[in-house]
Structure 1
Amino acid sequence: MSGHFNKGNFKPGGEGLRTRVFQIIFESDTPSAKGFDIALIVMILASVLVVMLDSVAAYHARYADHFYWIEWGFTIVFTLELAVRLYCLERPLQYLRSFYGIVDLIAILPTWLTLLIPGAQSLVIVRILRVLRIFRILRLMEFVGEGQLLLGALRRSTHQVFLFLFTVFMLVTIFAAMIYLIEPAEAGFTSIPKAIYWAIVTLTTVGYGDIVPVTPIGQAISVMVMLTGYSIIAVPTGIFSAEVIRSIRADRYSDEACPGCGHDRHEQRAKYCLRCGTWLDEETPDPRAPAPEASSADDHSSDDPNNET
């Protein structure tokens, strides 16, 4: 498993104990850090399993008290873990504003908030808070090195995906308005929002069948919507895939050009140019370069018999 975070973003808050705790929690290149990672992963999965089982009526009726105390045990452990994380960091507020800091808060706040929401009238809110604990599963992204790569690709492709969704929304609205004007209300197209629902279901090729055009023109429009859906459904996948590939290349390859031939497609760990064999690290000397020869003037002066010492 790779390290949780980039050490350039998060730094220990001091020497001694705080540095040792930081290495255990935010790194994974030591046996103690790996053990911490594995234990935390097991606890996250177990806590999510408890939430799932507690949502089953039969299990809740029989083991509600057990689930209650187990959940409080997980909450206390995760609360202490978050406190230790903040203790060992130089800038704890920066962590709380990060993605995983927010997830950590979501993982523990619902259980603590149930203490502040008593009364039968609050059962619905309590249920929502209990379900929010399922978001602990997001913390598993913290232990996957590729998770950072995927999140970065999602952030960089946000504008393209938003433009795609906006285009799809315009198409859906146009098709919905057309089908609303053509189809009778008896077919289920009682309003434009209802027609938009039909257009989205048809465009995504889901086809529930609860609303179906009955006129020939409406059926022809349905064919156009379905074909349009097949033609554009792969667009967001392509956008995201391109960003992932770009992230992989950026992580693997260096942008620095070779000082000899100008080629800039070298792996990060490459020492010599794959085209001309030039030493790439300009800050350090080439260990294979021949030693500089002594100057000819020094040789002649040493051989001159008139040379006085």
Structure 2
Amino acid sequence: MRLTMYRVLETSTGKKRGMSLVFNVVLVTIITLNAVAIVLHTVESINRKHAVLFRDFEFFSVMFFTVEYLLRVWVSVENEKYRNPVWGRLRYMVSMSAIIDLLAIFPFYFSLFATDLAIVRILRIFRIFRLFRISRYSHAVRLIQRVVADRKEELVLSVMFILFMLIIVSSIMYYVEHPVQPRTFSSIPATMWWGVNAMATVGYGDIHPITPLGKLLAGIAAMMGIMLFALPTGILTSGFLEHLRLQKGARNYCPHCGKEI
């Protein structure tokens, strides 16, 4: 029975059959409805009119997710990674997917014992974690995770380049503009807000250079920002193409002689 339940709960995307398909459709539907409820709950007119419906649906969802969480802990030993009946289940409970499951139901149980309503309102934001549970059943999300994991060194390096350039540009701009705008460009950390706007080409306009040299530097920063921000995009694109090619079993051919590489 435990093995059957494990197959229902954990069957991979694209191979669901019978009860597994029904369960996953129901689960994704409930998660989606929870996301809609979270959004509509903030509309005062709708909340007043359907307060009982929101409360009942929240109770039903928490009970459903609680039973599912307990079942997943119970059947986790069917996975080779968590084979030990005690330590295996404990390892599963601290895994990322299990933590997301727990955060989805934790605010409800905490509100039963909490006396500070402000804390309860803050913790309700954890309900949004139910959205992340859909990723467990999405092949596309798993593909993104694999691509990011394979290209993490290149991504980290490109982000470091962006941060270094932000610090350099902001430092130069501070020494250029501070003498004429001491309040606006009061420090290098304050100038880094301008640097983010300039390199991302957002241009909020709340802080901007007025000297000719500062304007020249702002133009250079904007052009460099476009080039630097394109690096992670290119890295991820090449990673996606490589994974898709491997999945489809595509072969590489030389563009000159036409032979298979």
TM-score range, shorter chain: 0.7 to 0.9
CA shift digits 1:127-171 (9 cap, x unpaired): 221111112111111111222111111122222222211111111
CA shift digits 1:34-53 (9 cap, x unpaired): 11111111100111111111
Higher Cα Rg: structure 1 or 2?
Answer: 1
1:244 to 216, 233, 240: 240
CA distance in 2 between counterparts of 1:58 and 1:192 reads: 46
Check whether the contact 2:104–2:129 (CA below 8 A) recurs between aligned residues: yes
Deviation at 1:217, TM superposition (A): 0.6
CA shift digits 1:13-52 (9 cap, x unpaired): xxxx112212222124312211111111110011111111
What residue in structure 2 maps to residue 51 of structure 1?
Answer: 38
Check whether the contact 2:162–2:229 (CA below 8 A) recurs between aligned residues: no
Check whether the contact 1:141–1:147 (CA below 8 A) recurs between aligned residues: yes
| Counterpart residue identity of residue 134, structure 1 | I
Show structure 1 runs of 5+ residues with no match.
Answer: 1-16, 255-264, 267-273, 276-309
Q: Note if 1:83 corresponds to 2:70.
A: yes
Check whether the contact 2:147–2:239 (CA below 8 A) recurs between aligned residues: yes
What residue in structure 1 maps to residue 85 of structure 2?
Answer: none
CA distance in 2 between counterparts of 1:71 and 1:213 reads: 51
Q: Note if 1:208 corresponds to 2:192.
A: no
2:102 to 96, 100, 105: 105
Mapping of residues 210-229 of structure 1, within 5 Å: 210-229=206-225
Deviation at 1:58, TM superposition (A): 3.0
| Counterpart residue identity of residue 33, structure 1 | S
Q: Which has the higher helix share?
A: 2
> Residues 240 and 97 (structure 1 numbering): CA distance in 2 closer, same or farther, change over 3 Å?
farther
Check whether the contact 2:198–2:218 (CA below 8 A) recurs between aligned residues: yes
Check whether the contact 1:187–1:212 (CA below 8 A) recurs between aligned residues: no
Aligned CA RMSD, in angstroms, stands at 2.3
1:93 to 90, 96, 110: 90
Check whether the contact 1:187–1:214 (CA below 8 A) recurs between aligned residues: no
CA distance in 2 between counterparts of 1:220 and 1:226 reads: 10
CA distance in 1 between counterparts of 2:205 and 2:8 reads: 55
| Counterpart residue identity of residue 126, structure 1 | V
CA distance in 2 between counterparts of 1:191 and 1:185 reads: 11
Deviation at 1:199, TM superposition (A): 0.4
| Counterpart residue identity of residue 202, structure 1 | A
Check whether the contact 1:172–1:196 (CA below 8 A) recurs between aligned residues: yes
Mapping of residues 175-214 of structure 1, within 5 Å: 175-183=169-177, 184-185=180-181, 188-214=184-210
Mapping of residues 100-179 of structure 1, within 5 Å: 100-119=97-116, 122-123=117-118, 125-179=119-173
The 3-state SS of whatever aligns with 1:189 is coil
The 3-state SS of whatever aligns with 2:25 is helix
CA distance in 2 between counterparts of 1:210 and 1:101 reads: 43
Q: TM-score, normalised by structure 1?
A: 0.71
The 3-state SS of whatever aligns with 2:26 is helix
| Counterpart residue identity of residue 53, structure 1 | L
Q: TM-score, normalised by structure 2?
A: 0.83
Question: Identity of counterpart residues, as a percentage?
Answer: 26
| Counterpart residue identity of residue 176, structure 1 | S
Deviation at 1:98, TM superposition (A): 3.1
Check whether the contact 1:50–1:67 (CA below 8 A) recurs between aligned residues: yes
CA distance in 2 between counterparts of 1:159 and 1:127 reads: 39
CA distance in 1 between counterparts of 2:99 and 2:153 reads: 23
The 3-state SS of whatever aligns with 1:214 is coil
Query: Higher RCO, 1 or 2 (CA under 8 Å, sep at least 6)?
Result: 2
> Residues 187 and 228 (structure 1 numbering): CA distance in 2 closer, same or farther, change over 3 Å?
farther
CA distance in 1 between counterparts of 2:247 and 2:92 reads: 24
